[in-house]
Amino acid sequence: MPLFLNDEQTMLRDTAKDFVAEHAPVSHMRKLRDDNDATGFSRDLWKQFADMGFTGILIGEDHGGLGLGHVEAGVVLEEIGRNLSPSPFLATAVAAVEALKGTDHAQRWYPGILAGETVAALAIDEGAKHRTAVGLKAERAGNGFRLTGKKQFVTHGHVADLLIVAARTAGSPDDEAGVTLFAVPKDAAKLTVTPERLADASLAARLEFDGVDVDADAVIGEVDAGRGPLGRLLRAGRTGAAAEMLGVGGGAMDMTVNYLKERKQFGTLIGSFQALQHRAAHLYSEMEVARAAVLKAQQLLDAGDDKADAAVSVAKAMTGLATMLSVQEGVQMHGGIGMTDEYDIGFYMKRQRVLAEMFGDANFHADQLARAAGY
């Protein structure tokens, strides 16, 4: 399979590009922020995503979805990134859909996702940095389990209908085995959800499980075998976050290169200065390499290739590095105006920082790759 988009994927990209730019441009995100919107995204827009078929991209045709892959999901995510559109798409239509795939929960939650009514949130992280360890305790109690512990960085956790929670049913936090994934409904008793606004104006919740009781059928997949669905969730989430970041970095780069062609100083366009040309050209190179890494990971995931794990880490890390450069150069080359709230480039910097952190930053993934390579 060649490493570029095929005709159908290119058509989907064009559709997504037009749709997101029209319905959720940066001004849409700015307005939600200025209104101090308590949801953090537009439910109407989520419905429209469903009407376009986007929310069913990764859902199989047997469940009424499109039965497409990570390349197609990434195409939509890149446009979300380019427009900084607040959306449950990554957590719900990509990561959650993959986690639930092939489990009894699929038929329960997929219809709502397909309809653009259900929103899922991912309760994975327990500390400030993403780790592979899972410590939140799930002990057998009555017919089901009792959950005790904390989660954080749960995007849209305060409004999600479904919380996907990684918990420990056996062993200690660092153990590979003994993890179970749970589907926890939003109104569970003894669950405290505290939304916090992040730097990019998105809302992420801190969750406190103070002995939350769930039925046995809340288990996603099998007890103690949660690394399976959690692995699917993380591979999809990381690849998706990388694709969204490509859009963020690409959007920032386009804005910046355009600015170099408009802004005059010393009586000439600043884009004619070699000092800036070389930096822009270097940035372009980094972004091209990141784009290839993301597409490679998406294709390997879609092919079910066992090299996908490494490719996913390469994609997440490389995109983190390349797009960090993009937003930093973006603000710097815009000069003073780049520091103003009125101008959009700063939003790109904030969004990049959040996505870079999500599901493990470049250092985390470089470390994962090093471990896998035996050093």
Partner 1 sequence: MSDLEQFRAETRAWLEANCPPEMREPVRTEKDAVWGGRDQSEMTPAQKLWMDRMGARGWTVPDWPKDYGGGGLSAAETKILREEMAKLRCRNPLSSFGISMLGPALLKYGNEAQKKEHLPKIARGEIRWCQGYSEPNAGSDLASLATKAEDKGDHFLVNGQKIWTSYANKADWIFCLVRTDPTNKHNGISFVLFDMRTPGVSTKPILLISGYSPFCETFFDNVKVPKENLVGELNKGWDVAKYLLGHEREMISGMGLGGGGKNPLIEGAKKTIGLDDDGRLADPLLRGQIALFEVRARAFAAQSERFIDELKAGQAHPAQPSMMKYYGTELNKARYELMMAAGGSDQLEWESDATEHGREVRAWLRTKANSIEGGTSEVQLNIIAKRILNLPGA
Binding site for partner 1 (CB under 8 A): 2-4, 257, 260-261, 269, 271-274, 276-278, 280-282, 284-285, 288-293, 295-296, 310-311, 313-315, 317-318, 321, 362-363, 365-367, 369-371, 373-375
d(CA 71, CA 308): 13
C-beta of 295: minimal distance to partner 1 in Å? 7
Which CB sits closer to partner 1, 201 or 276? 276
Strand partners, 220: 181
Which CB sits closer to partner 1, 140 or 371? 371
d(CA 298, CA 316): 11
Sign of CA dihedral 191, 197, 198, 201: positive
The answer to whether 11 touches 3, Cβ cutoff 8 Å, is: no
Which CB sits closer to partner 1, 107 or 277? 277
d(CA 81, CA 251): 8
C-beta of 246: minimal distance to partner 1 in Å? 12
d(CA 160, CA 120): 5
> What are the tokens at 267?
């009586």
Choose among 262, 280, 281: nearest CA to 270: 262
Tell me the CA distances in angstroms from 337 to 47, 333, 340, 342, one per residue in order. 36, 9, 5, 8
C-beta of 370: minimal distance to partner 1 in Å? 4
Which CB sits closer to partner 1, 101 or 365? 365
Tally Cβ neighbours within 10 Å of residue 9.
18
C-beta of 47: minimal distance to partner 1 in Å? 36
The answer to whether 185 touches 161, Cβ cutoff 8 Å, is: yes
C-beta of 351: minimal distance to partner 1 in Å? 21
Which CB sits closer to partner 1, 223 or 292? 292
The answer to whether 251 touches 348, Cβ cutoff 8 Å, is: yes
Residue 71 CB-half CA count within 13 A: 21
Which CB sits closer to partner 1, 191 or 327? 327
Which CB sits closer to partner 1, 165 or 366? 366
The answer to whether 40 touches 156, Cβ cutoff 8 Å, is: yes
C-beta of 256: minimal distance to partner 1 in Å? 10
C-beta of 363: minimal distance to partner 1 in Å? 7
C-beta of 353: minimal distance to partner 1 in Å? 18
d(CA 239, CA 245): 10
Can you give the C-alpha Rg of the chain in angstroms? 21
Q: Which residue bears the tokens 């100083």?
A: 265
Which CB sits closer to partner 1, 21 or 362? 362
DSSP 3-state of 152: strand
C-beta of 261: minimal distance to partner 1 in Å? 7
Choose among 296, 233, 203, 298: nearest CA to 94: 233
Which CB sits closer to partner 1, 143 or 285? 285
Q: Which residue bears the tokens 């288990």?
A: 219
Which CB sits closer to partner 1, 166 or 290? 290
C-beta of 228: minimal distance to partner 1 in Å? 25
